Structure 1
Amino acid sequence: MHDPLNAFALGGDVYIDGAKTGPLAGLTFAAKDVFDVQGYVTGAGNPDWRRLAEPAKHTAWAVGTLLESGARLVGKTHTDEFTRGIFGDNAHYGTPDNPRAPGHVPGGSSSGSAAAVAGGLCNLALGTDTAGSTRVPASFCGIYGLRPTLGAISMDGVLSQSNTFDTVGLMADDPDLLARMGEVLLRTKIKDAAPAKAVVLEDALEACDPAVAAAFEAALPRIAQAVAPVVRGTRVSPVPLSEWIEHQNAIQGREAWETFGEWINLSNPRLGFEVADNFLRGAKVANRTLSAARGFRLRAKRWVDAALAGNTVLVLPTTPVTAPPVHSPRSVMWEIRGRIVSLTTIAAMAGCPQISLPLCTADGLPVGLSLIGPRGGDALLLAAAKRIGKI
C-alpha cells in the first residue's frame, strides 16, 4: 500500500481478504504491530525484537474476528516501542505524520493506526490502550477511539505490557463504523440508549490548557442536546490526580519489567532513551510500593463507581493539550505527558470504558472530548457517539 504518512510498520505489508459476507464486508482495517498475524513477525516497534522474533504461529483473536466479519486487513501499523509511549515518536522508525495536524505528533502508542484512519488509508484500526494509547492518538488526530472495559475484548495474540491495564483499542473516523466494529468485537448489539446525566469532572479540567478548556466548554451543549443533561460541580477524586499517576506508573512499570525484563537482560537491545528509562524505573519498583499501588487502585475504582452511579457518564477532555509539535524538547514533552496521564488514568485505574469523540478544536488543532461509562457500559458509549454524530 502507498504510505504517504509513515503509518505502516517495517514488514507491515500484510494484506488478507476478509470473508465475502459479514457485518463489516467491504471495509478495510489496519492493526497495530503488536497484534499477531500468522506467518508474520510482530515487530513491537523495536528492531531487535523484530530481528529475534519468530513469525507468529496464530492470528490474534481481534484480527481474526474482524476478518471473519468481512473486513480486509491492509497492513500493520507503527507503534511506540513495546507500546511504552504516548506521543507516537519512535527512536528507530520515526514519527507517523498527523494528517489532521501537520507538523504535530499523532499521539501514541497506537500512532500508526490513528494516522492511517485519519488519513483515509483504512476505515477501521486496532490499537491497544494501557495509559491512553488509543485515546491520546484519537484526540490528537481528530478521530473516534474507544478504550473498552478491561477484559471485554480478548487480548489473545496481542503483545501486552501490563495485565492490569492493557486493552484492545478501537478506532474509526465515523461513529457508525466504530459502533459496527464494536458490535463485532464486543459481541453485542448497539441499541439506541442514553444515560440519565452527563457529569463534568471538574478536577480533570484543572490540567487543561486554556484553549482546550474553552473548546471543551463550547462542546458541552452538544452533549446536553444529544445525550443527557450536563451536571457540573463533581470531582472524581479526594486526592490530586497526580497521585493516581504515581500508583499507575508503579503497577504498569513493574508489570512491564516482569514481561520484558528477562529478554532485555539477555538481549541488550537498542531502546529509545525514555523507553529504557521507563523499564529501569519499573525494575526498581519495590514490592511494598507495588502493594500500596494496588490498594490505591481498589479505592480509585470505588471513587469512579460512585461518580458513575445512577446511570451516569463522566465528561472530560480526552487530553489537556493539543498535539505538540514534532521534535519538541523532551523536557516539554515530559511535563505534557504528566498532564495527559492525569486524565487517562481515571478510566484505566477503574477498568472502565472511555470513548474519545472528535468534537473540539483548539488553536486550529483537534482535541477529543471523552465520555467514561461504567464497566460493561461500552454499548452505551457507542450509542452516545452515534447520537452526537447525528447533530
Structure 2
Amino acid sequence: MASSSANLWVLLGLGLAGILIMTRKLKKVVKADLGAFVERFQLLPPPQPAPPKAPHPLTGLSFAVSDIFDIDGFVTGFGNLDWARTHESASRTSPVVSALIEGGATCVGKTVVDEMAYGISGENKHYGTPTNPAAPTRVPGGSSSGAAVAVAADLVDFSLGIDTVGGVRVPAGYCGIIGFRPSHGAVSHMGIIPVSTSLDAVGWFAKDPNILRRVGHVLLQVPFAVQRNPRNIIIADDCFQLLKIPVDRVAQVVIKSIEKLFGRQVLKHENLGDYLDSKVPSLKTFLSKKSNGEVKSSSMRLLANVMQLMKRHEFKHNHEEWINSVKPALDPVISAQIHEKLEMADTEIENCHAIRSEMRSALNSLLKDDRILVIPTIADPPPKLGGEEISSEDYLIRAFSLLSLASMSGCCQVTVPLGSHDKCPVSVSLLARHGGDRFLLDAVQTMFASLQEQADMATKSKLSRNVVSQETSAEIAKEKGNQAFKDKQWQKAISLYTEAIKLSGNNATYYSNRAAAYLEMGSFIQAEADCTKAINLDKKNVKAYLRRGTAREMLGYYKEAIEDFRYALVLEPTNKRAALSADRLTKLFQ
C-alpha cells in the first residue's frame, strides 16, 4: 500500500514537472508578440466627454512605445540590461505618451530598441531581436525595432519610436509599414533618453495613413489648414542610383502614381548631390580639414560622415560617464565606436552645426511652395539575421547617405511601403520642408492608395518583366556572337549563341547563327542539327535551309542537300547562292 502511495506521488510529481516544462516552452514560443515587447501593461484613456462634445480623436486605438520613453512607475531600459539595473523607475510619464492617452488611445506596453538606441539593425543581444513579420529571416531594422514589429504584426494600431539616424524610417521600410519622422523639434523630447540631441526626433508607425495622420494631429498640435496638393514632386535621380534592387521597381511606381493623381507636369528631376555641392559650402570645408583635399568624395557621402560624427560626439557627451563608471556589457560594434578616441575641436563642432544649418536652408529652399522630394528610404533590402553585411562600411555609407538628408536638415520624412521584391519589403520616402509636417501627412493620405495600386501592379507583372529581361539579354548575347563571327572567333561566337539559346530557346535565328559558326569550324553534324531546329521553329528561314544544305553536302547527303537548296529557292526565288548550289549538285549527281 505504501509502495502504491509512493508511486502515485512520483507520477504526480512527474506530471507537475511536465506541466512546468511545457509552460516554460510555451512562454519561449509565445513571446507571442514576435519578441516585440519588453513589458506589457495598460494605460487607459480618460472617459469620453459627454455629448455634444466630440469624442477623443484617438478613441479605440491601441499603441506601444519604444523602451526609451519614460512611463511613471517603470524603469526605462534603453535596450540594455545594465542600464535598467542601474536606473530607478521613472517618476513621471513622457508628455508625448500622455498626450496620446489623453487623446483617447490605450498604451499597452514598451517595445524593444537597439542597445542604447544606437544601431539601425534592430538586433539586441539583451532582449532578443524582434521577428520581422514581413521577412522573418531578415533583420527588422532599428533602432525602434519592437515598435515597428508590433504594428506590422497587428499587435497595436500605432507605435512610438525614436529616429536619430533612421530609427523609425529604417524599420518602417524593412517591416513594410508607414513610418513618420517629424521636423526636428516639432515634438517634445521631454521624458525621453537622449541619443544625439541635435538629431533625435520622436517618430511614429502605422499601417493606415489615416491613423498616422490622426496621431500626427495630436502630437504636432498644428492649426487646421485646408489640404493642398503638392505643387511639384521632385525625383532625386542620383539617390535612386544607390538602390540595390532594380531602380524602376521603386521609381516607376512613384512616377506612374504621381502622373495618375496630379499629372505629368508636377514631376521634376534633380541631381541632389550637385544641388548640395552648390548650397552647402561648409561640406567642402569639412572635407579639406579631414583629407587636405586629397580625396574626392560625394556631398552625400560627406553628409553621412558628418551625421555619424555628430551622433557619436553627442552620444558620448550624454552617456560616457555612465559607461565608464558602470562598464556595461555592450555590443562590440557600439563599444568600439564609443571607446574610439574622438577629439573634436570647437571649430569642428561649429562646422558640423554650420552644415546642419545650411542643409536646412538648402532643403527648405528646394521644397518651398508645397514641394515634395522623393528618395529611396534605404538602398539595400533588409540584411539576413546574424549576417556581416549590417556592419559593413559599404552598407552603412549607402544607408546613411540617404538617411542623413532628413536627420541633418531637420526636415520631415515619411516612409511608405511599396510591396515586395524577391520576398523583401520595398519602400520609398517623401520629404517636405522643415515645418511642413501637416502638409506631408495630408500628401501621404492622398497618395497612399495609388502608390499601393501601382506597387501591386509592379509585383504582379514581375514575371512578364523577367521574360522581357531574358529576351533582351538573349539579344545582347546574339549581337556579341555576331561580332565574334565577324572577327572570325568561331568558338567564342558559338559560346555566345549558346548563351542566347539558354536565355530564349524558341528563337530560330540563334540556332541558325550557331550553325553558321559550326560550319566554319567544320562541325557539320552540329550545324545540320541546329539548322533542323531552326527550321522546326521557323519554316520560312531561308538561311537555315541554305546552311543545312551546305552541311548535308559536306556530310555526303547530296540528295537532301539539293532538296534544301531548292526549297530555299521556293522561299526566295532570287537567291543566287541557292540557285548556284542546286544547279551544281544536280549536274554532278543527277
Q: CA deviation at 1:193?
A: 1.9
Alignment match of 1:4 (pick from 33, 45, 52): 33
Aligned-residue sequence identity (percent) comes to 34
Q: Which residue of 2 aligns with 1:274?
A: 333
Distance in 1 between residues matched to 2:433 and 2:392, nearest whole Å: 31
Question: Which secondary structure does the structure 2 equivalent of 1:345 belong to?
Answer: helix
1:21-60 pair list within 5 angstroms: 21=48, 22-60=56-94
Q: Which residue of 2 aligns with 1:132?
A: 166
Alpha-carbon RMSD across the aligned residues, in angstroms, is 1.9
Distance change (3 Å), C-alpha of 1:303 and 1:119: same
Q: CA deviation at 1:303?
A: 2.4
Alignment match of 2:433 (pick from 361, 374, 378): 374
Paired AA for residue 200 in structure 1? I
Q: CA deviation at 1:293?
A: 1.9
Asked if the contact 2:33/2:150 (under 8 Å) is kept, the reply is no
Alignment match of 1:207 (pick from 228, 242, 262): 242
Q: CA deviation at 1:334?
A: 3.9
Moved more, 22-31 or 216-225: 216-225
Distance in 2 between residues matched to 1:303 and 1:208, nearest whole Å: 24
> Residue deviations 1:22-79, cap 9 Å, x none?
1111110000000000000000000100001100001001110111011011110000
Asked if the contact 2:168/2:180 (under 8 Å) is kept, the reply is yes
Q: CA deviation at 1:330?
A: 4.9
> Residue deviations 1:251-292, cap 9 Å, x none?
111110000011111111111011112323474444343232
Distance in 2 between residues matched to 1:316 and 1:165, nearest whole Å: 19
Alignment match of 2:267 (pick from 219, 222, 230): 230
Higher-RCO chain (CA-CA 8 Å, sequence separation at least 6): 1
Asked if the contact 2:390/2:396 (under 8 Å) is kept, the reply is no
Q: CA deviation at 1:191?
A: 4.6
Distance change (3 Å), C-alpha of 1:139 and 1:227: farther
1:177-192 pair list within 5 angstroms: 177-188=211-222, 189=224, 191-192=226-227
Q: Which residue of 2 aligns with 1:111?
A: 145
Q: Which residue of 1 aligns with 2:308?
A: 249
Q: CA deviation at 1:346?
A: 0.4
Q: CA deviation at 1:213?
A: 5.2
Q: Which residue of 1 aligns with 2:587?
A: none
1:19 corresponds to 2:39:
no
Distance change (3 Å), C-alpha of 1:342 and 1:26: same
Question: Which secondary structure does the structure 2 equivalent of 1:15 belong to?
Answer: strand
Distance in 1 between residues matched to 2:308 and 2:341, nearest whole Å: 8
Distance in 2 between residues matched to 1:109 and 1:227, nearest whole Å: 35
Q: Which residue of 1 aligns with 2:183?
A: 149
Distance change (3 Å), C-alpha of 1:255 and 1:160: same
Paired AA for residue 254 in structure 1? H
Asked if the contact 1:41/1:53 (under 8 Å) is kept, the reply is yes
Distance in 1 between residues matched to 2:66 and 2:444, nearest whole Å: 23
Q: CA deviation at 1:360?
A: 4.4
Asked if the contact 1:48/1:270 (under 8 Å) is kept, the reply is yes
Please identify which structure carries the higher helix content.
2
1:100 corresponds to 2:129:
no
Distance in 2 between residues matched to 1:112 and 1:245, nearest whole Å: 25
With normalisation by structure 1, the TM-score equals: 0.94
Structure 2: stretches of 5+ with no match in the other structure:
1-29, 49-55, 278-297, 451-590
Distance in 2 between residues matched to 1:244 and 1:163, nearest whole Å: 17
Structure 1: stretches of 5+ with no match in the other structure:
none
Q: Which residue of 1 aligns with 2:205?
A: 171
> Residue deviations 1:158-184, cap 9 Å, x none?
111111110101110100000011111
Alignment match of 2:350 (pick from 271, 275, 291): 291
- Which of these two proteins has the greater Rg computed from alpha carbons? 2
Q: CA deviation at 1:155?
A: 0.9
How many pairs are equivalent? 389
Asked if the contact 2:122/2:144 (under 8 Å) is kept, the reply is yes
Q: CA deviation at 1:367?
A: 2.0
Distance in 1 between residues matched to 2:359 and 2:213, nearest whole Å: 29
Q: Which residue of 1 aligns with 2:477?
A: none
With normalisation by structure 2, the TM-score equals: 0.63
Asked if the contact 1:19/1:71 (under 8 Å) is kept, the reply is no
Distance change (3 Å), C-alpha of 1:259 and 1:325: same
Distance in 2 between residues matched to 1:266 and 1:330, nearest whole Å: 32
Question: Which secondary structure does the structure 2 equivalent of 1:217 belong to?
Answer: helix
Moved more, 316-325 or 225-234: 225-234
